[in-house]
Amino acid sequence: MDTWVLDLISTYISALPFLVALIYFKKIKAYLIPVFVLVIVNVSVEVLTNIYIEIGRNANEVLHVFTIVEFCLLSCFFALFFKKYFNPLIIYSLMPLFGILSYLDYKINGLNSTDNFSLSVESFTLVVYTLFFFYFVLKNLIFDDLLAQPVFWICTAVLFYFSGNFVLFVFGNYMARVDLNKYIILRASIHAFFNVLYNVFLSLGFWKARIK
């Protein structure tokens, strides 16, 4: 029962960064626009998956597409941020590669399974991007007050969510085959917990955007 409460909170909290971003939309810099779009997509996917669950349909096909969109938007965010400092060609070049990978995942696992392979690759890549961001910021000291920067909180959100869920994504399909009910409970709790953290930090990031 408790996990369903957490799952419910996790579903509705995706609206929080969307609302905060909407309030401070005029203050949002160019590199945050992909994250704003992502937040809108998040809310839409949450609504859509809930509708699918209500009508008894498998929402995995939506999630397959969402994975690709999420990766591309977050990659654009990192690329736009790093564009000021160097040519982020490698970030742009990984996007189509990821698309091909997701297509292969769909071909191998089918549309109705969890796309744990794509999710794992996505998690790993985005965690690498965020760790590189932290390294870059420390090495070059580009910010006077790091905690006041929206980009810091966005990267923290990405790091928490994707690293926290990484093991879950990697072993997702295996656990589903072993014990589907236990897997659903575990996913609902772990994923929901990190999703709440993710959305709270994203909201914080957009909230910090109000400071010039």
Partner 1 sequence: MESKDQIDIFTLVIMSSMGILVLILFIVFFIALYQKRMLAHKTELVDTENKHQKKLLEASLEIAEQERVKIATNLHDDIGITLSVLKLNLSRAKKNINNQSVFDEIISASNKNIDDSLDTVRSIYNDIMPPTLMKLGFVKGMKELCNQINYAGASEITFSTVQENMEFDKKIELQLYRLVKEVLNNTVKHGKPNLIELNIEVKDNKLIVTILHNGIGITTEAIKKLSEQSTGLGLKSILTRTQLINATIDFSILNNQMAKVLIITPI
* 25 contributes a contact to partner 1 by CB under 8 A: no
The reply on whether position 3 binds partner 1 by CB under 8 A is: no
184 binds partner 1 (CB under 8 A): no
Taking CB under 8 A as the rule, does residue 28 contact partner 1? Answer: no
203 near partner 1 (CB under 8 A)? no
In whole angstroms, the minimum distance from the beta carbon of 23 to partner 1 comes to 25
Q: Does 166 bind partner 1 (CB under 8 A)?
A: yes
- Amino acid in position 190: I
Question: How many residues make contact with partner 1 (CB under 8 A)?
Answer: 28
User: Among 147, 180, 210, 211, which residue interacts with partner 1 (rule: CB under 8 A)?
Assistant: 147
178 touches partner 1 (CB under 8 A) = yes
Amino acid letter, residue 26: K
Measured CA to CA, the distance from residue 114 to residue 105 in angstroms comes to 10
Distance CA 192, CA 4 (A): 9
Residues between 38 and 57 that touch partner 1 (CB under 8 A): none
Nearest-approach distance from CB 164 to partner 1, in angstroms? 6
Cα–Cα distances in angstroms (integers) from residue 195 to residues 37, 80, 129, 146, 163, in the given order? 17, 24, 19, 23, 12
Task: Give min distance, CB of 165 to partner 1, in A.
Answer: 7
Least separation in angstroms between CB 190 and partner 1: 5
Q: Which alpha helices (H) appear in 24-88, and where do they start and end?
A: 33-54, 60-82
Burial group, residue 203, by CB count within 10 angstroms (0-12, 13-18, 19+): buried
User: Which of 179, 180, 210, 211 contacts partner 1 by CB under 8 A?
Assistant: 179
Return d(Cα 187, Cα 183) in angstroms, integer.
Answer: 6
Of positions 167, 180, 210, 211, contacts partner 1 by CB under 8 A:
167
Stretch that binds partner 1, among 48-56, 64-72, 110-118, 182-190 (CB under 8 A): 182-190
Task: For the beta carbon of residue 143, count every other beta carbon within 10 angstroms.
Answer: 12
Angle, alpha carbons 19-2-18 (nearest 5°): 10
141 near partner 1, rule: CB under 8 A: yes
**Rounded to 5 degrees, what angle do the CA atoms 179, 182, 185 make?**
150
Distances (CA, A) of 79 to 24, 154, 202: 22, 14, 18
Nearest approach, Cβ of 152 to partner 1 (angstroms)?
8
Which residues of the chain form contacts with partner 1 (CB under 8 A)?
134, 137-138, 141, 143-144, 146-147, 152, 156, 159-160, 163-168, 171, 174-175, 178-179, 182-183, 186, 190, 194
